[in-house]
Amino acid sequence: MKTNQNLLTIVMPLKGRHFYTEFWVSYALKARLPFKLILADGSKEDEIGQFMGKNAKLLEGLDVEYLRFPFDATYADYYKKVLNTLSMVKTKYVVLLDNDTFPVPSSLGACIAFMESNADHSCCRGAHVDFDFDSNGEIICDDVYLTKDDRTAGILKSFDQANAIERIESWSHYTHILYYNVHRMENMVRAWRTIVNNNFMDLTMTDFSIAVHALIGGKTRVLDGVYMMRHRGSPESVSAEMYRRLDIMDRVLSPRWTQEWAAGMEEVCDRICTEDAHQVREEVAERIRMAVKTYVSDRIFAHLQRKRTSVGTPKYAVRQISRQDIERSQVDVGIYDLLKDLGKHPSAREALVKTGV
């Protein structure tokens, strides 16, 4: 990993939830995260800035840069913040993470090594594990992310078709975001320029833009082993805020939603035809339209299915996974215990004391 540590930057866009950010930083220290970290803070208050200042000596163990931005009052502010931050990244690869997503350092290193050996790939990751806590603070995880059965075929699927249009068509059939992958810098900058220029009202369009620019840029790969632990029950997430205000049917019925998707598809067609002179634009446009139709209709179906079955049923199915289960899944030793601290200490200060910051 030491050979590759200067090839990757982790960019973490922040808005509120300073408890998570403080815990994430303490996690990174304990896990000895060797990569460059940029915290792009668009919070209303300055808790994180104060935290970084007070703990400057301890934070010398991380290669971290803190950037303070104006408050993310709108999605447009957030989009510009991310693009501006990406413009400062000097490394060959970048990964965007939220402050409730905890990466496995060795898996990040494996992804960089894979990308260095496979120039035809645009991005890479391992398996995601969603976790939450029970009433005793014990970790409970979604076991479907750890096994390659029919339920997880899409989650663990690589897209390695010969050309971009085939990769996009294959990807559109799965609920499989590429947001958290280790990406080549040029593809992420291109995707976020698209997002800023269109100022999308629907955050699923940001996922779509990141994915299609990555898929046009090359093949994608999911490696064996756990790559990231994501706290599924975290409050105040950007996506949760969007779904509280607008469900998917509200968005689909908006005239602006239709305009955004039309503009997005035009740009995808233009890039494919520019980079592959053998493609006929009318054919590409129709195939992209059908891929988008599949992508959106599957999400509408899943949304309606969840609404129909939500009464009297658990939010999601989980099973107890032990520390040994997690670490046998190639997660770095000790990460399970670090994450347990997040569940046992509702106070940010207590959690930081426990983990050493």
| Per-residue model confidence as pLDDT tens digits over 123-133 | 999 888 777 66
Cβ neighbour number for residue 322 with a 10 Å cutoff: 11
Task: Name the domain count of the chain.
Answer: 1
With bands split at pLDDT 50, 70 and 90, how would you rate the model's confidence at 192?
Answer: very high
Average pLDDT over residues 206-222: 93
| CATH at 208 | 3.90.550.10
Average pLDDT for 342-348: 50
Mean pLDDT of the chain: 79
pLDDT digits (tens, 9 = 90+) for 139-162: 666 554 444 444 445 677 899 998
Q: Which of 28-32, 109-113, 130-134 has the highest mean pLDDT?
A: 109-113
Q: Is the pLDDT score of 280 beyond 90?
A: no
Q: Global pTM?
A: 0.83
Query: In whole angstroms, what is the distance from residue 241 CA to residue 259 CA?
Result: 23
Q: 292-334 pLDDT, tens per residue?
A: 888 888 777 766 666 665 533 333 333 344 555 555 554 555 5
Pairing type for strands 101-103 and 182-184 reads unpaired
For 93, the enclosing helix (H) or strand (E) is: strand 93-96
Q: For 86-100, 311-325, 329-343, which range has the lowest pLDDT when averaged over its residues? A: 311-325
Burial of 34 (C-beta count, 10 Å sphere; 0-12/13-18/19+): middle
- Residues of the domain holding 269: 5-355
By CB atoms closer than 10 A (0-12, 13-18, 19+), residue 320 is exposed
Q: What is the reported pLDDT for 236?
A: 55
> Number of helices and strands (H, E) in the chain?
14, 10
